[in-house]
Structure 1
């Protein structure tokens, strides 16, 4: 069939009718092989769209006869192709150059040929081996003719058949037609392939060919040649079929749930395997792209199903993936009950015999009953699931699709599974019984959102500390731990450092003073102003959150504007503004994020009045140019603690734009101030903000915050001595305990000690680098995907193969469960780190402390690997 020509659809239909008549004349039961041959011929003659249907059918051995599957598999990589003369002419036409001027070798016989394109093996002049994907002559035109014909049929059916009209047939067909047309666009395919390549860079077992960008044209795409075993020959792979099938399913789910860009056609012809079981993903003619909101919806829906919270699952599914919800008004109760029955049946009662076809069929029936329908995006997801399930079932006929899906969803949720929790319950009941009793006692009277009842990531096994000294803490059970929390940052000198203890004791003996002028307040402000480049004034408050609130108010008053610019993933305290787009919920395009509330209860107007950009995206800054006159300020973490990265080029560009537009620039150095160096991160990059937010370290372990910077901005809260003018031209700032003598004396003692001992920063950086390298080596030698960022005693650890990139990319694919569990494993080995939070070193940590941390981490990741936290 190598040179079988493409024939008109009418010819194919005629062949099918002719075969049907012959079967009526000879109604025997042993014609399966002839059926398979005729079906294959009809699909090939009908053209690429129908061949694509045949490729999908070839993965559904549970739905079509085995003889059909065997015959249709040839469509996956052994379809009709152009002859040698036509192939050479097409390549030279696309490259606009003789073949031998680009390739040292070019095999005109394709190594694979699908419904749209054929793939050739070649070698470039420089010796690089490449695969050349070439769209077959006539295919784009053939696709267009068939789509026009099919479109007319759909439109006619929509007029005549109520069910087609109710399903919005024309619009859905238009979406599908777009997918088919894009398959013949190699420039678009190259863009998609490069995106998936970046998403899987560093992955332990998924490989994507690298595109050769200079050899991409509308109908030709050259890429790295990858050797592998064809999907239909997976029995040659040296890996258990069940494990190989799980890898396939996990890969597709990772693309859908985490990356939001998924291979849309994962049939055996588009996937190779290495002998050791690596997956090589080919052909990006069809991809499925989900928005951040759709990813959230998909994950939250399936997570509710894993917890058997059926009504919650029904609500989430309806909210994110059902159109025509207005037709449900007044019938929500009945609709929900029917949908819940379907969910419970498939996800619980028959989950060990999971059928994607049956699940979608039953959900569709419920939606049709109430005049609703799937969204287009979920229809695409359905096709990916169907193809993935078909191929995975071929690899492992006994695969438990839902059990694997449940494990996947569980791995990326922040909460422990029943099995893991039971294991830790037993271990910690023995190790920290006193802390657990204190936890239960506290639960009856206290809500502690900072350390026990943490938003998103509650602590199941919190410690209650009896004593803290130097770099260690001792809990109420007498267990000692090397502490890497540092109180979320304040204790850079460790606990109970003599200079701090003496300062607090003397201030307490003299009588703590607040809301009255005192000398420590003035001395403290002098130290703050002298320490930061270009600073002129300081305003004291009680926390980093207060500092951010106050600074933004001062800028709004100064500019007489309301709009605030911040960056995705950056946290500026727990105010409505500070939390916008700061957690793990994002929306909008990655390169043009839209603001979203960080918490229920946030004021909608505040969220709407925030512009969100990506840290490190210099091009994105120009989005602000058109609305620069409406901006009150820009606030940024110059060294985000969540990634421990510092981008000098970006911060320089940001400073230049803000100066050009006259918009105040605020650096949030609540974490980094006096930790990375005495003058903060701004000193490392030599970029001077208009205002700096400070907290944590400057309080010496006591509650404190400050806004430091330009005099004209800070003095927006200084009285004019005219109450009417104050109301017209000044902003209010206050706080009964702001500038109290106890905090100011402690903070001043810490700052003076750090200023007078610069060697402490050199030693901290050396310890940081040493520990970082040790942590990286522990995961590397075990093949565990893990990213460790570290700078200035700040550590960011993420169990993922993906590099930092923009914040949402870092979060996509993060193994939250493993990161949280790491904290509990480390506690078993004498190290305290907070669940899913950056951890920190102090000057009090000794070499012995670092040795304990390194050993504890090595033991912990080994135990976690044995306990199944990492997919292999």
Structure 2
């Protein structure tokens, strides 16, 4: 209560100077600066909340003149520590016992003291040295009381016309939880662990380990870090330019990749450890950018890089502005366009993200809007971080690294790489390039020539495929790791498949009438999945999914469908929801988002999006049980190349109790990981399974198989009136055509006759994954190679995230694209940014060549600077 009373008393003085500042807003610069200095002095006296609020004021350039803003950009200062008696009392409360009972030794002199907490060195009984962060006595009540007062003050100031457009009360309401939460050490420990997980296995960034068993709301215990303080960059053991480059790389990685960033990256919160390591400290303030924030930010930067200023203005408004509907008209667009051109064309050599945001914020204020809270916090972070980096290396080109990160995020080749590959392909594949130009005049081929979202700059144009090889129209031969996205598990042009197709074609290529071939294929599929199973044939995996979902709705009488984030179920509106690059909402409770123009909004909005492997997803299914017809899932998500058997079994239990159908999408994994699918490995039996790819033997095919009573929902009842009311229609002129059925039957009969195919593929995949990972490690390249059962993936990323959204966020897209083209130069084809596949036709010699090609490619890419953050890489020079 004493702290609260002091806050109210001091508030009167702050109110006076706030009003003075507001009244003088329209007067001369000198008066406004003087008022800002006086206000800053009182904010310092008021304590931590006001200090942070003052730092936020330092980002609101439109509210104050530039000189006045600088007064709020220097709020970093050491404060006197707590008295020993108060410290011991606080420690006993936080630890639950005397510090002498917890620590073998505890130094009462703090190594650092701030406005919220102070840090001490201690030693555990096992001899380990730890840092103990203790919340200052009384600060929690002071924060709560002063936040109430400050909110009231801002409401008073907001009545002034020139200030009203910035919506300071609304801004503060959004910031208040962030500012008041900094005295919760339990929350800080959780944030510290989150950031540490994001940087796990990073080559030069570390975050101290938290001792959860000793930490509480008042005390945070963590590993003690030895090294040079950020105040002493000369002792870091690295040249200034390399140290600054590492700092910027680490900070931008937090912002652009993780979306979880340090708000206070000043010298006191960074330690330079031996070996060139950067150790980040103090996670009392952590900013967050949502999936939409990062998407919008990346799309905005990409438009600026391409100098598409009209698009950039629109994307800026979407990304940064509150109440964007107010920002219309040519005056706003022209004014912002001029600012964008100045910063992105004229001042890139003197780039400052904060300077750009300064100008942009002023424009928003003049037109009745303001920057969003998320980006206001980012501006506060950049204020400190970029200033710190520039002090370490005054000559650093900040824009070069910013550009490098936007290149890595966007799924496109940068100009330098594209030009180099263009010359290379002109020499080795001139006919392929010519054919692509010819195709562009007539053909839209979104799977290969014009691939959606992930365009191939240099698509392969194949003349012939056989076994494990592809030969392009220029006569170049490649070992294939694409497998046609899945169908060719036996390799290309397998003799049994070729003979079956030739025979079926010679018999007339029957469709739309019955024939023995479709019966035989249906029998093989049903026998592989269960004695009571029925089969419905379609023309593709996409069709199979559409039919399965319709059957589920008809069978249950319910409408909604649940699916998992990042799982792709074909190109239907339902299948594309939250399936590719776009994700939204809390990772534990994702919100649905479309991944294509033209998708039906109602379909997107009505889809319940879940997170694979998360227990909370099962709770959400149970909560929506009365409205869910089914849950569709890739049991082994292609993007993860692995499965969670325990989760799949729990999913079956929850849905079974609620009368919700479980639909497995095994279009990729069906007959690839086992004779049948993933369900045979994990021991689950879904109600419906969608198949495709392999069951067509390389020709278009799809199928739905499952419980007889469920699949029979698509069988006619003999009563046309009942059919329309209660049965699910499924059709297709080419469904079950004789040529496709013959090819699929030939493949399944081969797989059934040669059961050793699957153990062989499993063994080869395991060897290749381990060998590729070892080669990348030998080169010192951050690379993740994952896979099993003939399915694997390669990504250049230091982290090992479990969520698809996090894998894509941290993916070095440019390097992954470049790998595909470097590998092609060594006789190996892998599809850019796609899951990779092995077939039974791949020999040991093939895999050894793949591994050798990968090693050479990674070394070439490293020599070209793809994985370096040295000055040469930042300036675009060759190493």
TM-score w.r.t. length of structure 1: 0.92
- Summarize the alignment of residues 209-288 of structure 1 with structure 2, pairs less than 5 Å apart: 209-288=208-287
Distance 2:826 2:533 in 1: 48
Using a 3 Å threshold, how does the CA distance of structure 1 residues 737 and 126 change in structure 2: closer, same or farther? same
With 721-730 and 771-780 compared, the bigger mean Cα shift is at 721-730
Runs of at least 5 residues in structure 2 that lack an aligned partner in the other structure: 1-5, 18-36, 60-65, 870-879
With 851-860 and 185-194 compared, the bigger mean Cα shift is at 185-194
Give 2:571's aligned residue: 574
Distance 1:11 1:618 in 2: 47
Find out whether 1:472 has 2:484 as its counterpart: no
Give 2:594's aligned residue: 597
Using a 3 Å threshold, how does the CA distance of structure 1 residues 355 and 726 change in structure 2: closer, same or farther? closer
For the aligned residue pairs, the C-alpha RMSD in angstroms reads: 2.7
Using a 3 Å threshold, how does the CA distance of structure 1 residues 264 and 649 change in structure 2: closer, same or farther? same
Distance 2:395 2:851 in 1: 42
Find out whether 1:114 has 2:118 as its counterpart: no
Give 1:619's aligned residue: 616
Give 2:670's aligned residue: 673
Distance 2:56 2:362 in 1: 23
Paired residues of 2:56 and 2:376 also in contact (CA < 8 A): no
Name the SS for the 1:183 alignment partner. Answer: helix
Give 1:123's aligned residue: 123
1:190-244 deviations in whole A, cap 9, x for unaligned? 1211211221112221111121112222211111222222111111112222222
Give 2:631's aligned residue: 634
Using a 3 Å threshold, how does the CA distance of structure 1 residues 68 and 149 change in structure 2: closer, same or farther? closer
Give 2:777's aligned residue: 780
- Summarize the alignment of residues 649-688 of structure 1 with structure 2, pairs less than 5 Å apart: 649-688=646-685
1:684-712 deviations in whole A, cap 9, x for unaligned? 00101111111111111111111111111
Give 2:318's aligned residue: 319
Paired residues of 2:49 and 2:180 also in contact (CA < 8 A): no
Give 1:23's aligned residue: none
Deviation of 1:511 after TM superposition, in Å, equals 2.3
Name the SS for the 1:181 alignment partner. Answer: helix
Distance 2:82 2:187 in 1: 23
Name the SS for the 1:362 alignment partner. Answer: helix
Paired residues of 1:55 and 1:267 also in contact (CA < 8 A): no
Find out whether 1:198 has 2:197 as its counterpart: yes
Aligned length: 837
Give 2:860's aligned residue: 863
Give 2:306's aligned residue: 307
Give 2:502's aligned residue: 505
Paired residues of 1:563 and 1:610 also in contact (CA < 8 A): yes
TM-score w.r.t. length of structure 2: 0.91
1:348-383 deviations in whole A, cap 9, x for unaligned? 112212244432332222222221221222211211
Name the SS for the 1:273 alignment partner. Answer: strand
Distance 1:195 1:830 in 2: 41
Deviation of 1:499 after TM superposition, in Å, equals 1.3
Deviation of 1:151 after TM superposition, in Å, equals 3.6
Distance 2:58 2:321 in 1: 30
Residue 808 of structure 1, aligned match among 767, 792, 805: 805
Distance 2:307 2:646 in 1: 49
Paired residues of 1:535 and 1:708 also in contact (CA < 8 A): no
1:703-732 deviations in whole A, cap 9, x for unaligned? 111111111121112111221121122111
- Summarize the alignment of residues 341-360 of structure 1 with structure 2, pairs less than 5 Å apart: 341-360=338-357
Deviation of 1:177 after TM superposition, in Å, equals 3.9
Distance 2:353 2:816 in 1: 31
Find out whether 1:647 has 2:644 as its counterpart: yes
Using a 3 Å threshold, how does the CA distance of structure 1 residues 510 and 245 change in structure 2: closer, same or farther? same
Using a 3 Å threshold, how does the CA distance of structure 1 residues 357 and 547 change in structure 2: closer, same or farther? closer
Distance 1:862 1:629 in 2: 56
Give 1:156's aligned residue: 156
Distance 1:754 1:679 in 2: 10
Deviation of 1:275 after TM superposition, in Å, equals 2.9
Distance 1:739 1:766 in 2: 34
1:761-792 deviations in whole A, cap 9, x for unaligned? 11111110110011101111222222111111
Distance 2:709 2:12 in 1: 80
Distance 1:605 1:46 in 2: 51
Using a 3 Å threshold, how does the CA distance of structure 1 residues 737 and 38 change in structure 2: closer, same or farther? closer
Give 1:833's aligned residue: 830
Distance 1:54 1:241 in 2: 31
Runs in 1 of length 4+ with deviation above 4 angstroms?
Answer: 6-14, 37-46, 49-59
Name the SS for the 2:579 alignment partner. Answer: coil
Give 2:83's aligned residue: 83
Deviation of 1:49 after TM superposition, in Å, equals 4.4
Using a 3 Å threshold, how does the CA distance of structure 1 residues 467 and 196 change in structure 2: closer, same or farther? same
Paired residues of 2:7 and 2:142 also in contact (CA < 8 A): no
- Summarize the alignment of residues 305-704 of structure 1 with structure 2, pairs less than 5 Å apart: 305-328=304-327, 331-533=328-530, 535-704=532-701
Deviation of 1:64 after TM superposition, in Å, equals 9.0
Using a 3 Å threshold, how does the CA distance of structure 1 residues 407 and 748 change in structure 2: closer, same or farther? same
Name the SS for the 1:578 alignment partner. Answer: helix
1:116-150 deviations in whole A, cap 9, x for unaligned? 11111112223332211001123334444544454
Name the SS for the 1:482 alignment partner. Answer: strand
With 305-314 and 693-702 compared, the bigger mean Cα shift is at 305-314
Deviation of 1:42 after TM superposition, in Å, equals 7.8
Deviation of 1:638 after TM superposition, in Å, equals 0.6
Residue 729 of structure 2, aligned match among 725, 729, 732: 732
Deviation of 1:626 after TM superposition, in Å, equals 2.6
- Summarize the alignment of residues 91-102 of structure 1 with structure 2, pairs less than 5 Å apart: 91-102=91-102
Paired residues of 2:8 and 2:146 also in contact (CA < 8 A): no
Deviation of 1:56 after TM superposition, in Å, equals 9.7
Paired residues of 1:236 and 1:275 also in contact (CA < 8 A): no
Name the SS for the 1:444 alignment partner. Answer: helix
1:303-323 deviations in whole A, cap 9, x for unaligned? 222222221111011123212
Deviation of 1:54 after TM superposition, in Å, equals 9.1
Give 1:31's aligned residue: none
1:430-462 deviations in whole A, cap 9, x for unaligned? 111111111111111111111121111111111
Distance 2:165 2:58 in 1: 30
Paired residues of 1:40 and 1:72 also in contact (CA < 8 A): no
Distance 1:333 1:7 in 2: 47
Name the SS for the 1:679 alignment partner. Answer: coil
1:824-850 deviations in whole A, cap 9, x for unaligned? 111011000111000101000111111
Runs of at least 5 residues in structure 1 that lack an aligned partner in the other structure: 1-5, 18-36
